[in-house]
Structure 1
């Protein structure tokens, strides 16, 4: 079994714990009684430790699944820690220049038009007033155009976000999923690895004793 996932200290501790369970299970204890001292429990323990790599191969699929689930759970936990915050400023960061332009243009129109009309009607400066009215109308047109551009940009942005959003996101793995995968790995190591190995050594010892 590869040691690329959990550190060797962890896999070694799991092997020792499951080995204790295997030596204490009823099948192995009954086989030890039938062997009538041909092999001791400590002798079996040493033999199992020597064959640890070969025994662990029996639970390789469950071990790989444990590694995958544990990594996915850790990644999901890390993603939850950074998910809040940065997205809040994206709308402001992506706002186009047209938003600010429409505000400036609208303010200029609101100032120029009343002033121009006032000068034309009451100030005795028709040419100046007319120029201000013309400038105000231009500023108002710019404000309308910029506002329309802003509305179009927002609609396109929302449409693109809906298109890019995944339709059915898969549920991330959790710590409970990793725990269940670890239990499945340990159970496979016990039932398909250690218990058959120990029974096989006891049967060999019994056969030698009878011959």
Structure 2
């Protein structure tokens, strides 16, 4: 599965097991169960993930920057000693920034932070509000449009 689908499924599982959603299911008194909510969320995945689009783009930018640095050629023809020293400093700085050798982008702190921000935004602004909103809609429909108190 693509990365976004895996992250979405993980966020959906986390949300369905969260106390907030479990409590809402109890208050809903059988108008929907976890599997019905899951099915609705999977069908609405594109709309739900759009809630975290900004964070996802930041994550992609951070990951691309690291992956781009990992692909830059290290061996260069460098005229003069000072240029060679500068190139060596560049290589050392690159290694310090990304770790020894080519490191998977997700192991770099900036990328990890960006990914965590994306996953949290997906959960808090996407999946949980969607699930709670569907439960509220179902309750209102059952009560003839009156909001639950």
Whether the TM-score (by the shorter chain) exceeds 0.5 is yes
CA distance in 1, matches of 2:10, 2:97: 30
Higher share in helix: 1
Q: Which has the larger radius of gyration?
A: 1
TM-score (normalised: structure 1): 0.54
Which residue does 2:147 correspond to in 1?
none
TM-score (normalised: structure 2): 0.75
Which residue does 1:17 correspond to in 2?
10
1:193 deviates by: 0.4
Which residue does 1:69 correspond to in 2?
62
Residue 191 (str. 1) matches residue 124 (str. 2): yes
1:136-164 deviation per Cα after TM superposition (whole angstroms, max 9, x unaligned): xxxxxxxxxxxxxxxxxxxxx99xxxxxx
**What are the equivalent positions in structure 2 for 1:144-159 lying under 5 Å apart?**
none
CA distance in 2, matches of 1:71, 1:63: 12
CA distance in 1, matches of 2:77, 2:18: 55
Q: Verify the 8 A CA contact 1:76 1:172 in the aligned structure 2.
A: no
Residue 86 (str. 1) matches residue 19 (str. 2): no
1:172 deviates by: 6.3
Unaligned 5+ residue runs, structure 1?
Answer: 1-7, 93-156, 159-170
CA distance in 2, matches of 1:20, 1:195: 10
Secondary structure, aligned partner of 2:46: helix
Runs of 4+ in structure 1 over 3 Å off: 171-174
Aligned residues between the structures: 126
Q: Verify the 8 A CA contact 1:35 1:202 in the aligned structure 2.
A: yes
1:173-203 deviation per Cα after TM superposition (whole angstroms, max 9, x unaligned): 7622111111110000000001000000001
Which residue does 1:205 correspond to in 2?
138
1:1-23 deviation per Cα after TM superposition (whole angstroms, max 9, x unaligned): xxxxxxx6111111111100111
Residue 57 (str. 1) matches residue 50 (str. 2): yes
Residue 34 (str. 1) matches residue 32 (str. 2): no
Question: RMSD of the TM alignment (CA)?
Answer: 2.6
Unaligned 5+ residue runs, structure 2?
Answer: 84-95, 99-104, 145-149
1:15-50 deviation per Cα after TM superposition (whole angstroms, max 9, x unaligned): 111100111111111000000110010000000011
